[in-house]
Amino acid sequence: MLGKNRNYRATMLDIQKIRADFPILDEQVNGKDLVYFDNAATTQKPLPVLNALANYYGHYNANIHRGIHNLAEKATAAFEESRKAIQKFLNARLTEEVIFTYGTTDGINLVAQTYGRAFLKAGDEIIISTMEHHSNIVPWQMLCEQNGCILKVIPINDNGELLMEEYDKLLSEKTRFVSVVHVSNALGTINPVKQIIEKAHQVGAKVLIDGAQATSHIKIDVQDLDADFYVFSAHKIYGPTGMGALYGKKDILDAMPPYRGGGEMIKEVTFEKTTYNELPYKFEAGTPNIADVIAVKYALDYVNALGKESIAAYENELLAYATEQLLQIEGLRIIGQAKEKVSVISFVIDGVHPQDIGVILDQQGIAVRTGHHCTQPLMKRLGIPGTSRASFAVYNTKDEIDKLVKGIEKVKKMVL
């Protein structure tokens, strides 16, 4: 967020102490100290999260909810504590508005295949944006094929910002659903989602916000946003993989049919009829990802202890420093220079393929992401096949950014 938070200073954070909480940062890659700049793909996990996983499997591994023995009761209590932690983290009104999923993608598919199939019909219009991840494009395309809905797309400017005046033109009485990303994974752009939601509600449309990239950088308040749905993945916010959550307003979730059938999502089953369970269990069929659900509370606790404002302030310092240093490299262009963005820098180098950049940096122990970042339509709009992306987290340092700059200079010498 280069704009709003420039005046913050993160001096209260002890970065070396934070780094000590992440054992993987002591690893070496190709004989070099690891520099991990692929945080937009997945963040590393602190010791409290790793210990929580080991503690569950080592001391109270059991299935949840239906058991009456001690291990089952302990596991169930820890499982539901994570639901409370997510409710507080998102400022949801009720715990039953938090549905456990396997991640952001799963949450979007759940909404598309439950709310979408039940309440959207042929001719209804769904709006997404040019900068969406494939996970927020394909489920809506599938729904359009199933129901005959029409997909509309908000364009962007060359800086990677939504053209809100064009969004206004797309909205109409035919608009029934809007699904947009809070923060672009490819560009780092922070979208004005509160404004997007307000405008959609004025025409009677429901709104889903893809918060995969936002939760680790921005304070989320779903009640203030007035979001109908909000989805995120734990592994983007220092938590485990294969686990995420869907927030939905209770009245909307109550009206939606179940997504999957099986154990836990039922009250009573006969061969003639099944009665479905109440929220949130109606959408949580089968044995869940118990260990990772339990561990996500420890990730959120870790973030809360550091403080979202402090994290954002420090990451903004990294973003500003990296932007300044990288722009001094001849032939390097930063793709996506929105006024409001998080600590993500996508770049291209004239005459150098992004994959070559990634390979040569990896030889120096520096991990970046290369390619289209699951945003092929965005890359097409920008007129490029892909980028190299460096994304920063609270455990990264300016010294590591200096190594990145030196690494890129080495790339140029080897390739050009």
pLDDT, tens digit (0-9, with 9 covering 90-100), for 91-138: 999 999 999 999 999 999 999 999 999 999 999 999 999 999 999 999
pLDDT, tens digit (0-9, with 9 covering 90-100), for 226-238: 999 999 999 999 9
Average pLDDT estimate for 252-260: 92
Which strand (E) or helix (H) includes residue 231? strand 229-233
Q: pLDDT tens digits for 318-369?
A: 999 999 999 999 999 999 999 999 999 999 999 999 999 999 999 999 999 9
> What pLDDT, on a 0 to 100 scale, did the predictor assign at position 271?
87
Bridge partners (DSSP) listed for residue 154: 129
Residue 125 has a pLDDT of 98
Instruction: Domain 15-44+307-415: give its CATH architecture.
Output: Alpha-Beta Complex (3.90)
The answer, yes or no, to whether residue 195 has pLDDT greater than 90, is yes
Picking from 247, 335, 244, the residue whose alpha carbon sits closest to that of residue 42 is: 244
Helices (H), 269-332: 290-306, 308-326
Residue 315 has pLDDT above 80, yes or no: yes
Find the Cα–Cα–Cα–Cα dihedral 109, 112, 115, 117, rounded to 10°. Answer: -120
Long-range contacts of 13-18 (CB under 8 A, 24+ apart): 13/306, 13/310, 13/311, 13/314, 13/394, 15/314, 15/394, 15/395, 15/397, 18/306, 18/394, 18/395
**Residue whose entry in the numeric block shows the structure tokens 């659903």:** 177
- Judged against a pLDDT cut of 80, whether residue 254 lies above it is answered with yes
Question: When comparing pLDDT for 371 and 277, which is higher?
Answer: 371
Look at the pTM and tell me if it is higher than 0.75. yes
Mean pLDDT of the chain: 94
Read off the pLDDT band of 9 (50, 70, 90).
very low
3-state secondary structure of 72: helix
Q: What does the pLDDT average to over 369-389?
A: 96
C-alpha atoms less than 13 angstroms from C-alpha of 99 in its C-beta half-sphere: 34
Amino acid making up residue 327:
L
What are the φ/ψ torsions at residue 270 (nearest 5 degrees)? -130, 170
Return the pLDDT at 4.
Answer: 39
Domain layout of the chain by residue ranges: 15-44+307-415, 50-304
**Mean pLDDT on 37-49:** 98
CATH number, span 50-304: 3.40.640.10
Q: Looking at 374, 381, 402, 405, which residue is catalytic?
A: 374
User: For residue 39, which of 319, 296, 313, 297 has the smallest C-alpha distance?
Assistant: 319
Give the list of residues 6+ apart from residue 359 with CB closer than 8 angstroms, or none.
Answer: none
Q: Is residue 10 pLDDT above 70, yes or no?
A: no
* C-alpha span between 262 and 391 (Å, rounded): 39
| Per-residue pLDDT at 276 exceeds 90 | no
The CA-atom distances, in angstroms, between 285 and each of 75, 267, 299 are: 17, 12, 24
Collapse the DSSP code of 10 into the 3-class scheme (helix H, G, I; strand E, B; otherwise coil) and give the result: coil
Backbone angle region of 329, left / alpha / beta, with phi > 0 → left and psi within -120 to 50 → alpha: beta
**Confidence class for position 5, pLDDT limits 50, 70, 90:** very low
Reported confidence tier of residue 270, pLDDT bands at 50, 70, 90? confident
Helix (H, G, I), strand (E, B) or coil at 321: helix
Cα 313–chain centre separation: 19
The greatest distance separating any two alpha carbons of the chain, rounded to the nearest whole angstrom, comes to 72
Distance CA 22, CA 90 (A): 25
* pLDDT value at 67 more than 90: no
**Length, in residues, of the chain:** 416
Q: What is the pLDDT of residues 74-92, one digit of tens each?
A: 999 999 999 999 999 999 9
Q: Is 374 an active-site residue?
A: yes
DSSP assigned state of 374: T
Q: What is the pLDDT of residues 136-184, one digit of tens each?
A: 999 999 999 999 999 999 999 999 999 999 999 999 999 999 999 999 9
The mean pLDDT of 19-42, rounded to a whole number, is 97
